Structure 1
Amino acid sequence: MTDFAYKPTLTGELVVLRPVTEDDYPAMQVAMDDPDVVRFTGSRGEIGEEAARKWYRTRGEQTDRLDLAIVDKAGGEVVGEAVLNEWSPEDESCNFRILIGPADQGRGLGTEATRLIVGYGIEQLGLHRIDLGVYAFNPRAQRAYEKAGFVTEGVKRDALKWDGEWVDEIVMAVLATDWKPLPSTT
């Protein structure tokens, strides 16, 4: 049975994923203030500091989602977050999203973080399906998701209007039957 109440710490070669806390807000705010991050995530509207701090402070209490901070092992800094949300217990499925600040992109941190949390979802929580949406103007993220085992399933045409232009959303998923476990490090 899936249990999102337990908040694990997952360790890879490049990153550690650990439960997010209010103390992670400053690092996350840097990432969320970046214009490219805002565009790639299709974020609209600004959340105030008090609301954002409360959000991070309450993630550990959530029993229907898993919010983990991505910590770069090389420097020990929080560089982003990896999230399993929109859980459907009946369908044994959930959504995945990830955010990494601009200074730490392109280093393989996101690919490893994705594989760690998706592996946990499939191997430990028993999820059958994990899906996501990625906007067409973010091919680098799409490649990272493919490296982590996600398969393109379709396109939601004109799903986002950004700066007056329509942008497609690419729907991707990984199924438990497709999943290739991470090699053991022991």
Structure 2
Amino acid sequence: MTDFAHKPTLTGDLVVLRPLDEGDYEALAAAMDDPDVARLTGSHEEISEERAREWMRTRKDQTDRLDLAIVDRASGQVVGEAVLNDWDPDNKCCNFRILIGPAGQGRGLGTEATRLIVGYGIGQIGLHRISLGVYAFNPRAQRAYEKAGFKVEGLLRDALLWEGEWIDEIVMSILASEWIPPHSPRAT
């Protein structure tokens, strides 16, 4: 098993996933400024531009996580990010999260990005299990994860307090034995 020191570029039909860098700040800030994106990701905290840019500058140096920008091949624009984090090398598992701004929604970009990064995690890193959490008020994301092969494992009740209402978090995962690659991602 390897680690996440290598930051690949993964190319699909609809998206290119490439290493995240400080130049992606404006696109990701615009995505996070969308009230619907903030709600669906459960983002309460506002992060200063300086802190966000510094965080993005350090992504290439991380060996315990993989942060990739999602580029829409049709427009060439960064529309989000796909991340493998919370890596546990002893158990060959990690967490997955994704953010897609309004410019990238409703066209299958998130599903393809998910398939590409999961395929890389299982096929190249040697992960056994990749898990995620999706809030109950985001059935569109849950369907996209299911299309990529994730299965529901359980429920974290009242995991998020959003505008005075408690929201459940659905826990999902995919195992290496369940992964069926749609096609081999082109990694460079």
Give the TM interval when normalised to the shorter protein: over 0.9
Aligned to 1:71: 71
Q: Contact (CA 8 Å) 2:154, 2:170: kept in 1 or not?
A: yes
Displacement of 1:184 in angstroms is 4.3
Displacement of 1:182 in angstroms is 2.3
Aligned to 2:47: 47
Cα distance in structure 2, aligned partners of 1:161 and 1:19: 32
TM-score w.r.t. the length of structure 2 is 0.97
Cα distance in structure 2, aligned partners of 1:69 and 1:38: 18
Q: Residues 29-86 of structure 1: CA distance to partner in whole angstroms, max 9, x if unpaired? A: 0001110111111111200000000011110000100000000001111000000000
Cα distance in structure 2, aligned partners of 1:143 and 1:174: 14
Aligned to 1:163: 163
Displacement of 1:103 in angstroms is 2.3
Cα distance in structure 2, aligned partners of 1:166 and 1:177: 35
What are the equivalent positions in structure 2 for 1:9-24 lying under 5 Å apart?
Answer: 9-24=9-24
Cα distance in structure 1, aligned partners of 2:19 and 2:184: 23
Gaps of 5+ in 2: none
Secondary structure, counterpart of 2:56 in structure 1 = helix
Gaps of 5+ in 1: none
Distance 1:50 1:112, change over 3 A: same
Cα distance in structure 1, aligned partners of 2:178 and 2:77: 33
Aligned to 1:140: 140
What are the equivalent positions in structure 2 for 1:95-106 lying under 5 Å apart?
Answer: 95-106=95-106
Q: CA RMSD in A?
A: 1.1
Letter in 2 for 1:9: T
Number of aligned pairs? 186
Letter in 1 for 2:29: Q
Q: Displaced runs of 4+ in structure 1, greater than 3 A?
A: none
TM-score w.r.t. the length of structure 1 is 0.98
Cα distance in structure 1, aligned partners of 2:147 and 2:104: 18
